[in-house]
Amino acid sequence: MALTLRQIRKNCDDARDAMARARAEHFALGAFNLDNQETLKAVIQAAVNKKAPLMVEISQGEVDALGVDNVRDMVDNYKAEYGIEVYINLDHSPSVEAAKDGIEAGFEFIHIDISQAKKDASHEEIIAGTREVVAYAKLTGALVESEPHYFGGGSNVFTEAFDYDEIKKTFSTPEGAKEFVDATGIDTYAAAIGNLHGQYPVPKKLDLELLQRIRDTISCNISLHGGSGTPGHYFVEAVKIGVSKVNINSDMRAAYRKTLEKVLADNPTEFAVVKLMDTVIDAVQLVVEEKIDMFNSAGKAKK
């Protein structure tokens, strides 16, 4: 059932309050990608168990497969059933038009990433597109997130290690962050400090000193993309510094696929696959709960 504009605006007000609480109480909302209803159920059950506020999110691939309105309805059904604090983020929306669709569907968080579809987009193009989404989001009060350049990696499990020296060339700078935030009016800045999309055979290293300098320079929220495969102690320190949102995808996908492959191999004569999914859901839920603990968000759901 479609939400009224009044309901959408109330949800967006609640989302702003959640981010303000995260800043004040030094926790981060986990933003967990969903591929299907099973992963959504895993995230919802983790939120219930941990009494944690969080986001579910979809990027363009899931938008194409599921549809923004269907995701809105599914999340609202679980939200009503369990009484949890959950929001929806449109992750790496590749165009202004796609971002507007998410706003109109009632998503509380919108990540506009012009460089996702156009890797060679100019700085001026990225700023102009982001500003347009920020202006349109005033319709509902949705929080807009962005960054000034393409964010590397991909939401997958990779077999080759990344070159840290090359990744460092794409790090955010305090001066660049302030210039971009001031030019666009975004609510959340996606910082690049060693976080990288995907899971790799080597752990990621976050430059927490750089994160502190960025935090000291800008007043808006800060997010970290590419949280998968990152040692948990970095998140513990990052939320103390003031990160309010952390994205997780590949760790969930790896748990889902590996567990599904095992249960299928263990049950070669069972063709009602739905009967085998509880084990898969449990594995993904465990990943989400472990991240919630790292983000210090357990027990932080609005009473």
Please give the pLDDT value at position 1: 65
Provide the mean pLDDT of the chain: 94
Sign of CA dihedral 136, 138, 139, 145: positive
State the SS3 of the chain.
Answer: CCCCHHHHHHHHHHHHHHHHHHHHHCCCEEEEECCCHHHHHHHHHHHHHHCCCEEEEECHHHHHHHCHHHHHHHHHHHHHHHCCCEEEEEEEECCHHHHHHHHHCCCCEEEECHHHHCCCCCHHHHHHHHHHHHHHHHHCCCEEEECCCCCCEEEEECCCCCCHHHHHCCCCCHHHHHHHHHHHCCCEEEECCCCCEEECCCCCCCCHHHHHHHHHHCCCEEEECCCCCCCHHHHHHHHHHCCCEEEECHHHHHHHHHHHHHHHHHCCCCCCHHHHHHHHHHHHHHHHHHHHHHCCCCCCCCC
Please give the pLDDT value at position 156: 65
Please give the pLDDT value at position 162: 66
> How does pLDDT run across 135-163, given as a tens digit for each residue?
999 999 999 999 997 666 666 667 676 67
Please give the pLDDT value at position 154: 63
Please give the pLDDT value at position 289: 98
Q: Could you give the residue numbers annotated as active site?
A: 91
Burial 201-225 (b: 16+ CB within 10 A, else e): eeebbbbbebbbbbbeebebbbbbb
The pTM score is 0.94
Neighbours of 40 (CB within 10 A): 23
CATH of domain 5-294: 3.20.20.70
Please give the pLDDT value at position 58: 97
pLDDT mean by block of 10 residues, the chain; 303 residues: 92 98 98 96 98 97 96 97 97 96 98 87 95 98 92 67 74 96 98 82 88 98 92 96 96 96 98 97 98 98 89
Q: Which two tokens stand for residue 142?
A: 């949705």
> How does pLDDT run across 23-65, given as a tens digit for each residue?
999 999 999 999 999 999 999 999 999 999 999 999 999 999 9
Domain locations along the chain:
5-294
Which single residue is written with the structure tokens 């840290």?
A: 164
